[in-house]
Amino acid sequence: MLSLEVRFNGELKATCRADGLDNVFAHVRAARKSKESGDYDIRIECSGSKAVDADTYEVIKWVSALIELGDEVSLRFVETP
């Protein structure tokens, strides 16, 4: 099964996988806290979806975490049983 490993600063935080997934993805974003501020909220998320039936998809979220400047985030696609 195709899986996506998410690591923060070298530590495995999640292996994102589920039977029947149509997709699995991760994204990192930085959003300004306010228009006047130079500060940002930096977040990583890992999600996926799969069809329940012809009209319905189930969304699965494994990771949603704030990260800080200087943190290292790594993603790796792997095959898991």
Q: List Cβ neighbours of 37 (8 Å cut-off, separation of 6 or more).
A: none
What is the residue extent of each domain of the chain? 2-79
pLDDT over threshold 90, residue 61: yes
pLDDT over 90 at 10, yes or no: yes
Residue 73 is given by DSSP the state E
**Cα–Cα distance measured from residue 51 to residue 34, given in angstroms and rounded to the nearest whole number:** 37
Q: Is the pTM of this model over 0.75?
A: yes
> At a CB cut-off of 8 Å and minimum separation 6, what does 6 contact?
12, 13, 14, 15, 16, 26, 44, 46, 62, 63, 73, 74, 75
The reported pLDDT for the residue numbered 18 is 86
Instruction: Grade residue 36 by pLDDT with cuts at 50, 70 and 90.
Output: confident
pLDDT for the residue 16 = 93
The pLDDT of residue 46 is 95
